[in-house]
């Protein structure tokens, strides 16, 4: 749907390829996936038909094209969403895998049905800015949920994955190029102020998808290089309750052996960790990076007494 897929689709593609190696998915997993893709698709339909579409604000991708075609022809938005995405289902089935393809097809069917049923419902608000912001938020939550549970609601994502194999651009960059063209077209179909509002909705949805996929409790990886590694490691374990791993390193210039402290924290703990490092070694090397997902090990925080 948007270039927040940069955050997720490269990862998701790998997950999907691993998933299709398993002949059967457990009933619990299948039920969970079906439930959340249903919820996500319905939320996207609400964001479109209750907020964006009645105010002539569009989304990116195939959905954005469908909105403009529906406006120009008077035909059902759900019909265009389904028909225009159908070729990408077959592409996804052949190139990416049946698990992802059928999850996507199911999500698109639910989205099409939802937009059809909600079309007669009047807009929640006539305030264009409120409609843009809240429509983008609801739509972003819906798309983020579907992506998180292994599906997609827009064929441009599949197309971008396939183009990514042949072009020197990332999935996110390809989607961005496509969507800039589609969103700009809204200026010709509706008006240029609606095209600008569409860009705002697109940005709001993009950020919301990020939060939905990674969660509010976003994880961060931390590397610290210091001669006081023992003291700093103990302080992190005792004051933050986080596990610490000492890695062996060697200075490329000096050739000296170094100990590298590695740990994973959440964003709320970042400031406290920096204080711990500064207190014990103001000259220590510190690097912090975002992590999209953490599994296994002893990441779960232990109680501090």
Q: Residue 243: pLDDT band by 50, 70, 90 thresholds? A: confident
Q: Phi and psi (nearest 5°) for 273?
A: -65, -40
The answer to whether residues 28 and 119 belong to one domain is yes
- In the sheet that holds 245-250, the strands lie side by side as 245-250, 257-266, 219-225, 285-291
User: For residue range 138-189, what is the model confidence (pLDDT) as tens digits?
Assistant: 999 999 899 888 888 888 877 777 777 777 776 667 788 888 899 989 999 9
The answer to whether residues 10 and 92 belong to one domain is yes
DSSP letter for each residue of 22-67:
SS---HHHHHHHHHHHHHHHHHHHHIIIIIIGGGT---SHHHHHHH
The answer to whether residues 146 and 83 belong to one domain is yes
Query: What is the C-alpha to C-alpha distance for residues 174 and 166, in angstroms, rounded to an integer?
Result: 11
The answer to whether residues 206 and 239 belong to one domain is no
Most confident of 50-54, 91-95, 236-240, 300-304: 50-54
Q: Residue 1: pLDDT band by 50, 70, 90 thresholds? A: low
Q: pTM of whole model > 0.85?
A: no
pLDDT at 200 over 50: yes
Provide the greatest CA pair distance for the chain: 72
Q: What percent of the chain has pLDDT over 90?
A: 44
The answer to whether residues 183 and 285 belong to one domain is no
The answer to whether residues 154 and 12 belong to one domain is yes
Q: Classify residue 274: in a domain, yes or no.
A: yes
Q: Classify residue 87: in a domain, yes or no.
A: yes
Q: Classify residue 15: in a domain, yes or no.
A: yes
Range of the domain at 183: 5-214
b/e for 124-146, b at 16 or more Cβ within 10 A?
beeeeeebbbbbbbbbbbbbbbb
Q: Residue 9: pLDDT band by 50, 70, 90 thresholds? A: very low
Q: Classify residue 305: in a domain, yes or no.
A: no
Q: Residue 67: pLDDT band by 50, 70, 90 thresholds? A: very high
Query: What is the C-alpha to C-alpha distance for residues 151 and 34, in angstroms, rounded to an integer?
Result: 10
Q: Classify residue 238: in a domain, yes or no.
A: yes
């Amino acid at each position: 749907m948007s270039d927040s897929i940069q955050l997720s689709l490269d990862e998701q593609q790998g997950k999907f390829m691993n998933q299709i190696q398993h002949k059967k998915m457990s009933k619990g997993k299948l039920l969970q996936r079906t439930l959340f893709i249903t919820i996500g698709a319905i939320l996207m339909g609400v964001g479109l038909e209750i907020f964006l579409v009645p105010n002539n604000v569009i989304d990116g991708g195939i959905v954005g094209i469908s909105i403009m075609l529906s406006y120009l022809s008077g035909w059902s938005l759900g019909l265009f969403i389904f028909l225009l995405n159908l070729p990408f289902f077959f592409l996804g089935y052949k190139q990416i895998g049946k698990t992802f393809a059928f999850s996507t097809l199911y999500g698109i069917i639910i989205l099409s049905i939802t937009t059809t049923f909600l079309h007669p419902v009047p807009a929640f608000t006539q305030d264009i800015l409120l409609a843009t912001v809240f429509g983008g938020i609801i739509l972003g939550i819906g798309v983020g949920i579907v992506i998180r549970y292994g599906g997609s609601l827009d064929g441009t994502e599949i197309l971008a994955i396939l183009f990514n194999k042949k072009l020197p651009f990332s999935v996110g960059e390809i989607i961005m190029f496509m969507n800039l063209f589609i969103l700009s077209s809204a200026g010709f179909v509706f008006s240029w102020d609606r095209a600008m509002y569409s860009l705002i909705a697109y940005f709001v949805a993009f950020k919301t998808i990020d939060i939905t996929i990674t969660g509010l409790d976003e994880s961060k990886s931390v590397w610290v290089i210091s001669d006081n590694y023992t003291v700093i490691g103990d302080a992190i374990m005792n004051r933050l309750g986080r596990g610490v791993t000492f890695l062996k390193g060697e200075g490329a210039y000096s050739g000296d052996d170094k100990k590298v402290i590695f740990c994973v924290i959440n964003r709320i703990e970042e400031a406290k960790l920096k204080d711990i490092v500064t207190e014990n070694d103001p000259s220590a090397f510190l690097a912090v990076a975002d992590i999209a997902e953490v599994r296994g090990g002893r990441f779960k925080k232990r109680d501090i007494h």
